Amino acid sequence: MSPQEILQRTIALQADYKAGRIGDDAFIRHTAWLTWVAQGVPRATVEQLQKRMAEVADAARFVGENPTPAEVDAATSFISPAE
């Protein structure tokens, strides 16, 4: 992606955010993506980072919903207890 394309996407992203068309999480993810692309981070690494950011956002939303102990157990049942 050329520097001109990155600049154009950044300007469009800021306009969408200011107009309320995208939320905070989307703005952060897209800004991070543009930053990584501008710095020349390999595509596979960018995809891994995007996946991890989405997982963290999902976890934050889950915790913010104040889940019951049963919901926490169900959501974390795949995790093995520490030995």
pLDDT along the chain (83 residues), means of 10: 87 95 89 89 88 85 86 78 59
Q: What's the predicted TM-score (pTM) here?
A: 0.60
User: How many alpha carbons fall within 13 Å on the CB side of residue 28?
Assistant: 9
Q: Please report where in the chains the tokens 């990584």 appear, as a residue.
A: 36
Polymer length in residues for the chain: 83
| Domain ranges across the chain | 3-64
pLDDT at 17: 95
